């Protein structure tokens, strides 16, 4: 058994017994006046958590906890694919079953979730899709979360998962490759957790810019420069994509307007993240993330109106980041 599969919670079972055991567990023995656990198991989706060979045990535990927290709020079936270096013929026969019910202030607030864990070898993906397809809740959408799975493996071994998923999820703050390059006719289905993670930044910027007419914002705008330092690079790149799409939408409302270039570059100072609009005249817009956690400053001078704003925000919870990516993906 792989170190990850051994460490994650659950009851070790032969794969052929897992589905049967799961059905029996949900039946339970209840009195006539009590509700069966299955009554609180209204699954909405399938979430496949696909762990790559570079995943540490600590990371696997963290990702698993996030998935469980997510399904406490959005009931679903979790399937966790755990890598192993053991290439023996029977490697694919190892699995675990995890089920748990969470009870709120009253029994009616109970929520039941389940996770099926499967060991696999990255070089032997032959049985993987078939086994996973057996475990999926039929007629429910499938969301596939790649974590430290090399992009070349996704392209060469796991495209069948991509094709059969409503949305494919990855985290550019962790992956060293751009998963937007996964070949699929519907690129909008590939979503980055980082895009949801920077939602407070986008709201902070958008709340100020929304007070101006798009024509005034674009008038004389030469370029937008996003600067970053340290670990903010993934956030800066996602902010660059978002800002480009915003400028395109604004330009659609203004005739004969070219879309200004958006540049992402390393900062020369120690400021973590900033967005600056550069104009031909004395207009300006400058948003910067302060060294103080959860604080940002906005200075603007557009259409003769000057303003200075200080904003504070808290980062979204892990389950919120995942749910924003799964259901909205913006």
Predicted confidence pLDDT, tens digits, the chain (330 residues):
789 999 999 999 888 788 777 777 666 544 444 555 555 556 789 999 999 999 999 999 999 999 999 998 888 999 999 998 876 644 456 799 998 877 766 555 667 788 999 999 888 887 899 889 999 988 899 999 999 999 999 999 999 999 999 999 999 999 988 898 898 878 889 999 999 999 999 999 999 999 999 999 999 999 999 999 988 999 999 999 999 999 999 999 888 788 899 999 999 888 899 999 999 999 999 999 987 778 999 999 999 999 998 988 887 888 889 999 998 865
215 in the same domain as 134? no
Q: Within a domain: residue 115?
A: yes
Residue 162 lies in a domain: yes
Query: Residue 325: inside a domain, yes or no?
Result: no
224 domain-assigned: yes
Strands of the sheet containing 273-279, edge to edge, are: 261-266, 221-228, 273-279, 284-289, 295-302, 305-312
Q: Look at residue 81 in the predicted model and tell me its pLDDT.
A: 96
In a domain, 73, yes or no: yes
Q: Is residue 194 part of a domain?
A: no
Q: pLDDT at position 89, please?
A: 43
Instruction: Please give the pLDDT value at position 190.
Output: 93
26 located within any domain:
yes
Indicate if 206 and 136 belong to the same structural domain. no
pTM: 0.87
Q: What pLDDT does residue 211 have? A: 93
Give the pLDDT of residue 8.
96
pLDDT of residue 110: 67
Q: Do 171 and 57 have their domain in common?
A: yes
> How many folded domains does the chain comprise?
2
Is 190 inside any structural domain?
Answer: no
Specify burial of residue 6 (Cβ count, 10 A radius: 0-12, 13-18, 19+): middle
Give the range of the structural domain holding residue 212, as residue numbers without chain letter.
199-312
Residue 178 Cα distances to 57, 80, 190, 202, 282, angstroms = 24, 23, 10, 21, 37
């Amino acid at each position: 058994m792989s170190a990850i599969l051994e460490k994650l919670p659950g009851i070790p079972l032969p794969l052929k017994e897992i589905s049967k055991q799961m059905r029996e567990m949900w039946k339970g023995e209840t009195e006539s006046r009590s509700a069966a656990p299955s009554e609180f198991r209204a699954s909405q989706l399938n979430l496949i958590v696909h762990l790559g060979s570079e995943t540490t045990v600590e990371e696997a535990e963290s990702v698993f906890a996030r998935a469980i927290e997510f399904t406490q709020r959005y009931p679903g079936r979790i399937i966790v694919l755990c890598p192993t270096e053991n290439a023996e013929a029977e490697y694919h026969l190892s699995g675990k079953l995890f089920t748990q019910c969470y009870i709120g202030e009253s029994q009616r607030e109970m929520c039941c979730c389940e996770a099926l864990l499967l060991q696999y070898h990255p070089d032997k993906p032959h049985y993987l899709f078939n086994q996973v397809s057996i475990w999926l809740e039929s007629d429910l959408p499938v969301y596939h979360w790649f974590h430290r799975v090399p992009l070349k493996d996704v392209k060469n071994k796991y495209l069948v998962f991509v094709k059969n998923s409503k949305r494919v999820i990855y985290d550019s703050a962790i992956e060293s490759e751009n998963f937007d390059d996964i070949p699929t006719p519907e690129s909008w289905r590939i979503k980055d957790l980082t895009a949801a993670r920077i939602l407070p930044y986008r709201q902070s910027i958008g709340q100020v810019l929304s007070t101006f007419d798009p024509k005034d914002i674009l008038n004389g705008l030469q370029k937008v420069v996003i600067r970053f330092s340290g670990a903010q690079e993934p956030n800066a790149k996602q902010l660059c994509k978002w800002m480009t799409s915003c400028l395109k939408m604004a330009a659609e409302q203004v005739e004969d307007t070219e879309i200004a270039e958006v540049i992402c570059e390393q900062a020369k100072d120690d400021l973590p993240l900033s967005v600056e609009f550069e104009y031909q005249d004395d207009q300006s817009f400058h948003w910067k993330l302060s060294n103080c956690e959860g604080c940002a400053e906005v200075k603007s001078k557009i259409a003769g109106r000057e303003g200075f704003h200080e904003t504070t925000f808290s980062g979204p919870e892990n389950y919120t980041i995942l749910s924003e990516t799964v259901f909205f993906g913006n």
